A and B are shown apart, each in its own frame.
Chain A
Amino acid sequence: MKVLSIKGLEKTYDGKVPVRALRGINLEVERGEMIAIMGPSGSGKSTFLNVISTIDKPTRGRVRIGGKNPHEMNDEQLASFRRNTLGFVFQNFNLLPTLTVEENIMLPMTLEKVPVGEMKQRTVEIAKLLGIGKLLKKRTYEISGGQAQRTAVARAVVQDPALLLADEPTGNLDSKAAKDVMELFGMLNKKKKTTVLMVTHDALVASYCQKVYIIKDGMIYQEIVREGDALEFQEEILNAMTLLGGGRHDTV
């Protein structure tokens, strides 16, 4: 079953010189897949994520998530869509500093007006699953970067979204914390069949996924499917990025 279906997606930024950031992307993601989007700086991958995540609107083309086109929705429908169908994890966590870990996780349920008892139960469950059960009463400045990202992941998945989007989720983490977060994604993907689509510069991070799409100049340049182990997959990604024309400096 297709969770994400994109046809002819284009995005042009108006200005004195219009910039065509996306030039017609076609992509489909099945339920339970874990996909990475890679590409050199300025290739359009962040724009691509912004359009899918409804932060930005496409100039042309169609996006369907869970069978619905979010860009045709009114405010109420879009808000509900964001609460129930999408989950978002940011590079810099974007936790609310005035709330505790528990309250940050509860935020989407608060907006959905879920009963308090159910809210707390689901929060405890997801926190336990992600290994942050003991941090629920802590404030965001009292936890480490890795713990903050786990909290952000918990917030993103607490409503069981059809699609989990991640924008450089390990960008602000050290290698150990990054590994922990990627294993989390892997666990969610395996256990809960969460469909994940992430943007990353990191070939190691991308190697946790089943497929990698490389974007170049606003179009899908290459699709790499994992067939062997993670190390081979990572090497294949690095070679593809090198062939792309960027050096190894464009990937980590």
Chain B
Amino acid sequence: MTLFSLAWKNIIRDTKTYIYYFANCVFSVFIFFLFIALAGHPVFKVIDVNSAMWYILVAAQLISVCFSLFFITYSVKNFSKARGKQFGIIVIHGGTKKQLNQLIFYENIVIGLGSIIFGILIGMLFFKIFSSAAERVISGVELNFYFPVKAIIMTIIIMGVVFLLISVIAPRLIRKSKVVQLIKVEEMAETMPKRIGMYAVFVISTAAIIVGLFATKYEDIVSFFLLPVGVVAVASFMCIVVYEGIRFYIFVSKSKGSYYQGTRLLLMSNFISKIHSNLQLITISAVLYGITFLSVILMVSSTEHVEELVRKQCPSAYLYTSWDESADTEGNVELIRKTIQDEPGYKEIKMQFWTNDPESNYGSMIMPVSMYNQIAQFLKYPNVRLQGEEALVAAGEVKQKNLEIPDVYQELCGQQGYQLKKTGTQQNLIWLSGYLSETTVVSDEVFQKIEDQLAVKEFYAFDVNNWTSLKDKTHDLYQYFLPLRDKQQATFISDYTYYESDRLEKDLILYIGSILCFSFLLGITSFIYSRLYSTMEKECNYYKNIVKIGLSKKELSKIINRNIGILMWVPFVLGLLFLWGGILVIDRSSVISNLSTGVICTVIYGVGQALMVLVVNKMYKKKIMEGVYETSI
């Protein structure tokens, strides 16, 4: 018998112990394979390497690998912990650290190889189903079946490296100095975590975020690290909240005496005896819940509001302006008119903007209120009344801050004896976001005095009701105007172009994000399962002894209900807090509001979680009762 055959026998002859860990590994490979097979589909070959779509596909694979690494390492850590006694037996009979490392390495490599094979096979089986789902979610994409040779090779290589890493890390997760002592005791008692550690992590990570937010000079580097550091800060905060909450509860109930009444003593002492694993479980679950909940809401919300978002950024379906005198403005406008004039709700407007810089087609603009009101009518904004020195500043881009009258126009008007006073601002855009800076609207009286010192720029806007379905007409117009844009003669902008690419991006994010969120939720289920079922035998023995000294079935049921309640509701509620904190922060800078989607999703999450708690509680209680009373219930 060799160490490898010992490892092999351990796996083959104790499938009940290894199957859960194996299932986690297969699932991780399966998810990664799905992403890489999708990314490698011939239909995505046309994607630019530096485009948002490409980044989304790469990010999905990266997140999948990182999550797999974390998920499997956590599983293997718990799994190794449960086998401590076996390792102790090997050590006391003369196994060296190296031999123990080798044994664990072999086991993980065997499981890793098996997972890769099964993960790919299952991935191939389900790829067609997931491709069909992707076609439904990602509008305008046809994912015909293809044999993903490259995806198979990449999965074998990348997940192979992951499992190799885990096989090397796994032995280091076991404290060998303590392993030999596990022969004498069933398990090492969990010590209370050091508060200073938790607080230190929280303070350092929060400080790093604050410093990062002010370090605008290194924005690119900082933004890369902000998210993971943010997750660490939030996780440590949750850990502190739960830990201090428990300590506070015990302190209060002990001082009142209620700690010693009923089943509280049993519940809390049992919870504290596993404080380390419980805290770990609650914190990881809370973070995953929070990320999943927030991601789902943002993805659903942005997919639902693509049209609205596009219109907020570009308020008319089609925009045209000539940049150069050589452009055939009339002919170009006539072409656009002829192409779409028969569409329902067709309307057009010729907008005039004035600027002090005749060479520029961009920058700060000014216009009389009569022109503004024409545009307002076209765009269905409220009309504005301006008299004398009153002025309105209209934003040039979405959520533009600090809208003020530019100095150049203040001086221009000042030369005519007018001191402009800003009486209001308008956040709704009148042209494509970011194309122009702010537009100052003044009274007709003031404008007449300064008009001869300004150069006029003409912009044409067209609108139809059904712009989201004019793919072919828009495409034809775009192809016609592309050479003119390249020659810097004119520009043609369509809502449909932005809508199409935004739609595709958000649908892709929705599809990929849903799978990732599902993985995270499955990860939470796996962690809870691991925590409950790996200690089930010990819990049964524990309660069996207490039943002998007078614990009733009803009281035992109460303890189980409360234990499951703490383990499942606490991280859920913390996750919801994270979710709502995130929504409130994001809504401040977001074009669309996520509040309504947030409320609906919170209700759905709550109902789903309540069902899950009911099911888990029922199943777990049944097993415990059977184990304690050794009868089928």
Q: Which A residues have a C-beta under 8 Å from some C-beta of B? A: 46, 50, 53-56, 75-76, 79-84, 88, 90, 94, 96-99, 103, 106-108, 110-112, 116, 119, 139, 155
A-B contact pairs, 27 of them (CB 8 A): A50-B184, A53-B92, A56-B181, A79-B97, A79-B99, A81-B94, A82-B91, A82-B92, A83-B94, A84-B94, A94-B85, A94-B89, A94-B183, A97-B14, A98-B9, A98-B13, A99-B6, A103-B9, A107-B1, A107-B90, A108-B94, A110-B1, A110-B2, A110-B3, A111-B94, A111-B95, A111-B96
Q: Which residues of B contact A50 (CB under 8 A)?
A: 184
Cβ–Cβ contact B94 & A55, under 8 A: no
Cβ–Cβ contact A96 & B97, under 8 A: no
- Output the nearest chain B residue to A99 by Cβ-Cβ distance: B9
Cβ–Cβ contact B89 & A96, under 8 A: yes
Cβ–Cβ contact B1 & A106, under 8 A: yes
Output the least CB separation between A182 and chain B (Å).
22
Output the least CB separation between B21 and chain A (Å).
15
Bound-state CA distance A119–B5 (Å) is 15
Bound-state CA distance A98–B13 (Å) is 5
Is B10 among interface residues, defined by CB-CB distance under 8 A? Answer: yes
- Given A96-B86, A98-B10, A99-B9, A107–B93 Cβ distance below 8 Å? yes
Interface string of B71-86 (1 = CB under 8 A from A): 0000000000000011
Q: Which residues of A contact B86 (CB under 8 A)?
A: 96
Cβ–Cβ contact A90 & B95, under 8 A: no
Is B574 among interface residues, defined by CB-CB distance under 8 A? Answer: no
Bound-state CA distance A89–B541 (Å) is 25
- Given A55-B180, A98-B14, A119-B1, A111–B90 Cβ distance below 8 Å? yes
Cβ–Cβ contact B94 & A80, under 8 A: yes
Please name 9 further chain A to chain B contacts, defined as beta carbons within 8 Å, in addition to the given A54-B92, A79-B94, A106-B1, sorted by A numbering: A56-B181, A75-B97, A79-B96, A96-B86, A98-B13, A103-B1, A110-B1, A110-B6, A111-B90
Output the least CB separation between B229 and chain A (Å).
37
Q: Which residues of B contact A76 (CB under 8 A)?
A: 96, 98
Q: Which residues of B contact A111 (CB under 8 A)?
A: 90, 93-96, 99
- Output the nearest chain A residue to B85 by Cβ-Cβ distance: A94
Output the least CB separation between A185 and chain B (Å).
19
- Output the nearest chain B residue to A123 by Cβ-Cβ distance: B1
Q: Which residues of A contact B85 (CB under 8 A)?
A: 94
Beta-carbon contacts under 8 Å, B167-194 to A: 180-181, 183-184
Bound-state CA distance A53–B180 (Å) is 10
- Output the nearest chain A residue to B181 by Cβ-Cβ distance: A55
Bound-state CA distance A107–B92 (Å) is 11
Q: Which residues of A contact B180 (CB under 8 A)?
A: 54-55
Beta-carbon contacts under 8 Å, B60-114 to A: 85-86, 89-99
Q: Which residues of B contact A112 (CB under 8 A)?
A: 94
Interface string of B439-453 (1 = CB under 8 A from A): 000000000000000
- In the complex, which of the residues B92, B99, B180 has the most CB atoms of chain A within 10 Å of its own CB atom? B92
- Output the nearest chain B residue to A156 by Cβ-Cβ distance: B93
Bound-state CA distance A99–B89 (Å) is 13
Question: Which 9 pairs show the lowest CB-CB distances between chains A and B?
Answer: A83-B94, A82-B94, A79-B96, A98-B13, A110-B1, A98-B10, A98-B14, A108-B93, A79-B94
- In the complex, which of the residues A90, A107, A111 has the most CB atoms of chain B within 10 Å of its own CB atom? A111
Output the least CB separation between A30 and chain B (Å).
25
Bound-state CA distance A13–B8 (Å) is 39
- Output the nearest chain A residue to B17 by Cβ-Cβ distance: A98
Bound-state CA distance A219–B227 (Å) is 60
Interface string of B1-32 (1 = CB under 8 A from A): 11100100110011000000000000000000
Q: Which residues of A contact B9 (CB under 8 A)?
A: 98-99, 103
- Output the nearest chain B residue to A116 by Cβ-Cβ distance: B1
Q: Which residues of B contact A94 (CB under 8 A)?
A: 85, 89, 183
Bound-state CA distance A5–B98 (Å) is 30
Output the least CB separation between A83 and chain B (Å).
3
Output the least CB separation between A232 and chain B (Å).
34
- Given A75-B97, A98-B10, A98-B14, A55–B2 Cβ distance below 8 Å? no
- Output the nearest chain A residue to B89 by Cβ-Cβ distance: A94
Bound-state CA distance A51–B76 (Å) is 31
- Given A99-B9, A111-B99, A82–B183 Cβ distance below 8 Å? no
Q: Which residues of A contact B10 (CB under 8 A)?
A: 98
- In the complex, which of the residues A46, A81, A96 has the most CB atoms of chain B within 10 Å of its own CB atom? A96
Partner of B92, one of A88, A97, A98, A106: A88
Output the least CB separation between A206 and chain B (Å).
21
- Output the nearest chain A residue to B86 by Cβ-Cβ distance: A96
Q: Which residues of B contact A54 (CB under 8 A)?
A: 92, 180
Bound-state CA distance A119–B6 (Å) is 15
Q: Which residues of A contact B6 (CB under 8 A)?
A: 99, 103, 110
Q: Which residues of B contact A97 (CB under 8 A)?
A: 13-14
Bound-state CA distance A130–B425 (Å) is 97
Bound-state CA distance A107–B86 (Å) is 12
Bound-state CA distance A96–B94 (Å) is 15
- Given A97-B14, A110-B2, A110-B6, A83–B183 Cβ distance below 8 Å? no
Q: Which residues of B contact A75 (CB under 8 A)?
A: 96-97
Bound-state CA distance A210–B34 (Å) is 70
Interface string of B326-356 (1 = CB under 8 A from A): 0000000000000000000000000000000
Q: Which residues of B contact A82 (CB under 8 A)?
A: 91-94
- In the complex, which of the residues B10, B96, B180 has the most CB atoms of chain A within 10 Å of its own CB atom? B96
- In the complex, which of the residues A76, A82, A139, A155 has the most CB atoms of chain B within 10 Å of its own CB atom? A82
Cβ–Cβ contact B89 & A55, under 8 A: no
Bound-state CA distance A112–B183 (Å) is 21
Bound-state CA distance A94–B6 (Å) is 16
Partner of B183, one of A90, A99, A155: A90
- Output the nearest chain B residue to A91 by Cβ-Cβ distance: B184
Cβ–Cβ contact B184 & A55, under 8 A: yes
Bound-state CA distance A82–B179 (Å) is 15
Q: Which residues of A contact B91 (CB under 8 A)?
A: 79, 82
- Output the nearest chain B residue to A88 by Cβ-Cβ distance: B92
Cβ–Cβ contact B95 & A79, under 8 A: yes
Output the least CB separation between A118 and chain B (Å).
12
Q: Which residues of B contact A106 (CB under 8 A)?
A: 1
Bound-state CA distance A79–B101 (Å) is 14
Q: Which residues of B contact A99 (CB under 8 A)?
A: 6, 9, 13
Bound-state CA distance A55–B91 (Å) is 10
Output the least CB separation between A107 and chain B (Å).
6
Bound-state CA distance A98–B98 (Å) is 21
